[in-house]
């Protein structure tokens, strides 16, 4: 065998797992879902090709209201994660010493060692009517009767921010890490005050990391299922819950598949808009960090 | 110390400790208006810390820093009219050239039309009128250098600090930038404080140079003073090339010290520095290669002063470097001595293994106690 053949063969072999993964786990299921979503049920076991499932979504306000609500709450979660994550990332990357940096990063990672489910139950233990917070407040005497902190939007948002903030911090730390400290000093030296340096130098420099973190966090939040259900209960009306309902409760795969694609389209458009507005490209953000 | 408006920058007894390390130890300096001042020292001597204190990124433990006579110790860095060219320039990569230069003006609240005027004016002065819309990555090393200076100069600073900005450039460009920096300083007529560990940068460009070692200023003076009249052995050894020996003083007569080196050479020299050597004391002896004349022994052409040092030896090797060529001569005790020679390419040039006589005056032989 010639050397070029060996090279080509090894390339194929190395590429094969990735190709199989994309094909079997991403493309094939989505193609199947797409096919199902475009079937209209006209009679039991009789289907026709059509957009009925998609049209249903727009005709039923409860469906698209849920999607809008999921989208806007995800945006809020993304914004809060950025607001909380940026100072943490800045501290880790630029202020903390070399030794404490590793420890701080590890502390951010530790929650990931516990599964989503356990973490959500942790919040439940804290927030429920008989939970830690309610009973401590009672014990201190600030409230007379137990208060239910669970099953409202605030609880859902808090839980989601807690779950996803790490995915904001990691890309931010990696971009800020690459920033020469003398850029900040030059910013001050040339006459900028704290807010100017932050607005004109640090944030523009960190923009790829900010956008990358926001994309990841937004996608994770909009597609999350466990946290909104467990912390928001019946009132959460998260769009993934609707999809779950269609598939499992109503056994209406056609409609569920259509909802799935609508969520994908919605989040993709949101990400595209975000990239356009921030003047970034996918290449300069997610691929770089 | 009197604060004086003739001085753009004054430091008095500035000290800075990091833990037990004395980074800057009791440094005082006065830099006259419009001069080019260099702080020259080996890495880790505290020169960068001193510069960061002047810029305001560190605060001194004690002492005072005055700019145009006014103490700035309590002034934050963005309120000091001292601008700095950073070691790696620190041009903002997300802004183009125009925005980089305009940044400082915008911070000062200059109007848009004035900014445009000033930016184009300063680009004109650094002879890069057409680069305003370029990205930083599209500039060459020398252009970046000039933009970094323009970014500071557009703000009309009282003092411009330069922290080894030529370090990242290749040799040829560095040589060119040395001259250019000096010209820019003349053109802008601003006080430049230049920090470097490269003696040739400091000597070529500066009006005055301070030699810094272990947090202290060892000697301050014009480049010529430092080169020809070093006050301490450290300065003699750090500035310029040297042949260096350590010897014991045999006799002292009429200011001429006769010493014997460990290897057994007898060298006559003159005492330098504050402390005069005594008979029997140990001295460090420095001789610059350009003061040693190397002549082929057979020819008795030059008439040698009887007082001069003469050493016979064989040419070991020729270090050809155009006008700065050197010859390495192995003397009778086996040491190598460097001497400058002129190589014309003719048949008279020295060749390896030629017997030569080295000849230099005791006046050019600097002896320091210790």
- Read off the tokens for B64: 């005072």
β-pair type (B82-85, B159-163): parallel
Could you report the per-residue pLDDT of A115-171, keeping only the tens digit for each?
888 888 888 988 888 888 888 988 888 888 888 888 888 889 999 999 899 999 999
- Which residues have CB under 8 Å from B347's CB, separation 6+? none
- What CA–CA distances, in Å, run from B187 to A36, A103, B128, B191? 76, 52, 15, 11
The answer to whether A185 faces chain B, any CB pair under 8 Å, is yes
Q: Where are the beta strands (DSSP E) in B108-255?
A: 159-163, 191-196, 208-213, 216-221, 243-253
Decide if B39 contacts B27 (C-beta within 8 A): no
Instruction: Say whether B90 and A180 touch across the interface (CB within 8 A).
Output: yes
Kindly list the residues from chain B whose CB atom is less than 8 angstroms away from the CB atom of residue A196.
Answer: 107
A178–B contact, CB cutoff 8 A:
no
Rounded to a whole number of angstroms, the distance from the CA of B187 to the nearest CA of chain A is: 21
pLDDT over 50 at B190, yes or no: yes
8 A C-beta contact, residue B34 and residue B204? no
For residue B44, name the pLDDT band (cuts at 50, 70, 90): confident
What span, in angstroms and rounded, lies between the C-alpha atoms of B27 and B50?
9
pLDDT values of chain A reduced to their tens digit, one per residue, 289 residues: 677 888 899 999 999 999 999 999 889 999 999 998 888 877 777 788 888 888 888 898 888 899 999 999 999 999 999 999 999 999 999 998 888 888 988 888 888 888 888 888 888 988 888 888 888 988 888 888 888 888 888 889 999 999 899 999 999 999 999 999 999 999 999 999 999 999 999 999 999 999 999 999 999 999 999 889 888 887 678 899 889 988 998 888 888 999 999 999 999 999 999 888 888 777 776 665 5
Residue B163: name the closest of B68, B82, B74 by CA. Answer: B82
8 A C-beta contact, residue A183 and residue B90:
yes
Q: Does B333 touch chain A (CB under 8 A)?
A: no
Q: Does A195 touch chain B (CB under 8 A)?
A: no
Does residue B86 sit at the A interface (CB-CB below 8 Å)? Answer: yes
Of B179, B186, B239, nearest to B209 (Cα)?
B239
A193 with B78: Cβ contact below 8 A: yes
How far apart (Å, rounded) are the C-alpha atoms in residues A83 and B287?
A: 65
Is B185 in contact with B192 (CB distance < 8 Å)?
yes
Query: What pLDDT does B300 receive?
Result: 56
Give the minimum alpha-carbon distance from B360 to chain A in angstroms, rounded to a whole number. Answer: 49
Mean pLDDT, range B12-31, rounded to an integer? 90
Using the Cβ of A201 and the Cβ atoms of chain B, whether some distance falls under 8 Å is answered with yes
Tell me whether residues B94 and A204 touch, CB distance under 8 A: yes
**A192 and chain B: CB distance < 8 Å anywhere?**
yes
pLDDT attached to residue A129: 85
CA A235, A238, A239, A240 torsion-angle sign? negative
Cross-chain Cβ contact A183/B55 below 8 Å: no
What confidence score (pLDDT) does residue A141 get? 85
Q: In whole angstroms, what is the distance from residue B90 CA to residue A43 CA? A: 70
Buried b or exposed e, range B331-340, using 16+ CB within 10 angstroms = beeebebbbb
Amino acid A112: pLDDT: 81
Q: Which residue matches tokens 């003006």?
A: B105
Spatial distance between the Cα atoms of B96 and A147, rounded to a whole number of angstroms: 56
Phi/psi of residue B100, each to 5°? -60, -45
Establish how many alpha carbons lie within 13 A of residue B29's alpha carbon, considering only the half-sphere containing its beta carbon.
29
Beta strands in chain B (DSSP E): 7-18, 21-32, 36-40, 62-67, 70-71, 82-85, 159-163, 191-196, 208-213, 216-221, 243-253, 256-261, 266-271, 282-287, 293-296, 309-319, 326-331, 336-340, 355-360, 365-369
Q: Is the pLDDT of residue B99 over 80?
A: yes
Instruction: Check CB contact under 8 Å for B107 and A192.
Output: yes
Token reading at B268: 């006559």
> What percentage of chain B carries pLDDT values higher than 70?
96
- Find, in chain A, the residue whose alpha carbon is nearest to that of B149: A190
Calculate mean pLDDT across residues B200-207.
Answer: 90
Task: Give yes or no for a contact between B119 and B98, defined as CB atoms under 8 angstroms apart.
Answer: yes
Q: Is A244 on the interface with B (CB under 8 A)?
A: no
Other CB atoms within 10 A of residue B53 CB: 25
pLDDT of residue B303: 60
Using pLDDT thresholds of 50, 70 and 90, give the confidence band for residue B1. very low
Q: Which domains does chain A have, with CATH numbers?
A: 54-278 (1.10.3720.10)
pLDDT at B275: 80
The answer to whether A196 contacts chain B (CB < 8 Å) is yes
| Among the partner residues B76, B90, B108, nearest to A186 by beta-carbon distance | B90
Q: B299 CB contacts (<8 Å, ≥6 apart)?
A: none
- Per the prediction, chain B carries an average pLDDT of 88
Three-class SS state of B264? coil
Residue B304 pLDDT > 70: no
Residues in A closer than 8 angstroms to B93, CB to CB, are 205
The answer to whether the beta carbons of residues B369 and B273 sit under 8 Å apart is yes
Domains of chain B in sequence order: 7-234 (3.40.50.300), 242-370 (2.40.50.140)
What would the DSSP string read from start to end of B296-337? ETT---SPPPTTSEEEEEEEEEEE--GGG-EEEEEETTS-EE
Chain A residues lying within 8 Å of B154, measured CB to CB: none
For tokens 């727009």, name the residue: A58
Please tell me the least confidently modeled range out of B43-47, B86-90, B298-302. Answer: B298-302
**pLDDT over threshold 60, residue B344:** yes
Helix ranges (DSSP H) in A38-180? 52-59, 61-90, 98-109, 116-127, 132-140, 153-177
pLDDT confidence of residue B137: 92
CA distance B51 to A98: 24
- Nearest Cα to A76, choosing from A180, A220, A218? A218
State whether residue B98 sits within 8 Å of chain A by CB: no
Burial of B46 (0-12, 13-18, 19+ CB in 10 A): buried
CA dist B343 and B326 (Å) reads: 9
CA distance A79 to A82: 5
| Contacts A200 to B, Cβ<8 Å | 103
């Amino acid at each position: 065998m010639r050397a070029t053949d060996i090279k080509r063969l090894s390339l194929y072999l190395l590429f094969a797992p990735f190709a199989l993964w994309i094909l079997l786990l991403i493309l094939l299921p989505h193609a199947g879902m797409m096919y199902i979503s475009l079937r209209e049920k006209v009679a039991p076991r009789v289907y026709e090709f059509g957009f009925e499932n998609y049209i249903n979504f727009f005709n039923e306000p409860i469906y698209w209201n849920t999607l809008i609500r999921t989208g806007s709450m995800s945006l809020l979660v993304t914004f809060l994660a950025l607001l909380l994550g940026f100072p943490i990332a800045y501290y880790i990357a630029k202020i903390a010493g070399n030794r404490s940096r590793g420890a701080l990063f590890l502390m951010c990672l530790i929650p990931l060692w516990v599964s989503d489910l356990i973490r959500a139950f942790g919040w439940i233990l804290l927030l429920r009517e008989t939970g830690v917070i309610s009973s401590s407040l009672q014990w201190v005497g600030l409230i007379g009767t137990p208060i239910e902190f669970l099953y409202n939007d605030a609880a859902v948002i808090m839980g989601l921010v807690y779950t996803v903030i790490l995915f904001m911090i990691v890309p931010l730390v990696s971009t800020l890490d690459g920033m020469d400290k003398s850029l900040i000093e030059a910013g001050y030296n040339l006459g900028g005050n704290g807010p100017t340096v932050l607005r004109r130098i640090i944030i523009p420099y960190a923009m790829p990391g900010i956008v990358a973190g926001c994309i990841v966090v937004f996608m994770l939040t909009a597609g999350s299922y466990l946290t909104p259900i467990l912390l928001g209960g019946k009132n959460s009306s998260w769009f993934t819950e609707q999809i779950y309902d269609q598939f499992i409760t109503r056994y209406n795969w056609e409609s569920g598949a259509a909802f799935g694609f609508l969520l994908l389209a919605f989040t993709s458009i949101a990400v595209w808009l975000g990239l356009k507005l921030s003047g970034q490209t996918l290449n300069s953000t997610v691929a770089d960090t | 110390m009197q604060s004086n408006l003739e001085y753009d920058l004054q430091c008095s007894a500035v000290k800075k400790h990091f833990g037990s390390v004395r980074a800057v130890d009791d440094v005082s300096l006065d830099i006259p208006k419009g001069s080019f001042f260099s702080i020259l020292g080996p890495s880790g001597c505290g020169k960068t810390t001193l510069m960061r204190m002047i810029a305001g990124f560190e605060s001194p433990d004690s002492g005072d820093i005055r700019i145009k006579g006014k103490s700035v110790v309590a002034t934050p860095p963005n309120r000091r009219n001292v601008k700095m060219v950073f070691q790696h320039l620190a041009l903002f990569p997300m802004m183009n050239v125009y925005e980089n230069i305009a940044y400082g003006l915008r911070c000062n609240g200059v109007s848009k039309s004035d900014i445009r005027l000033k930016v184009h004016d300063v680009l004109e002065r650094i002879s890069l009128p057409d680069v305003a819309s370029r990205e930083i990555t599209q500039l060459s090393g020398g252009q970046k250098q000039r933009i970094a200076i323009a970014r500071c100069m557009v703000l009309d600073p009282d003092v411009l600090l330069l922290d080894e900005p030529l370090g990242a450039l290749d040799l040829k460009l560095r040589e060119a930038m040395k001259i250019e920096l000096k010209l820019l300083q003349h053109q802008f007529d601003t006080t430049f404080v230049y920090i470097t560990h490269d003696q040739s940068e400091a000597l070529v460009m500066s009006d005055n140079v301070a030699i810094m070692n272990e947090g202290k200023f060892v000697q301050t003076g014009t480049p010529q003073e430092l080169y020809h009249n070093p006050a301490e052995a450290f300065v003699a050894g750090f500035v310029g090339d040297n042949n260096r020996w350590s010897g014991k003083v045999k006799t002292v007569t009429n200011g001429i010290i006769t010493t014997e080196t460990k290897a057994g050479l007898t060298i006559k020299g003159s005492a330098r520095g504050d402390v005069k050597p005594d008979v029997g004391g140990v001295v460090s002896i420095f001789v610059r290669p350009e003061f040693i004349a190397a002549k082929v022994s057979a020819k008795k052409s030059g008439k040698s002063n009887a007082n001069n040092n003469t050493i016979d030896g064989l040419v070991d090797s020729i270090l050809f470097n155009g006008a700065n060529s050197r010859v390495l001569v192995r003397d009778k005790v086996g040491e190598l001595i460097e001497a400058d020679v002129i190589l014309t390419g003719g048949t008279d040039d020295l060749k390896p293994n030629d017997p030569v006589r080295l000849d230099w005056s005791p006046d050019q032989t600097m002896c320091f106690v210790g």
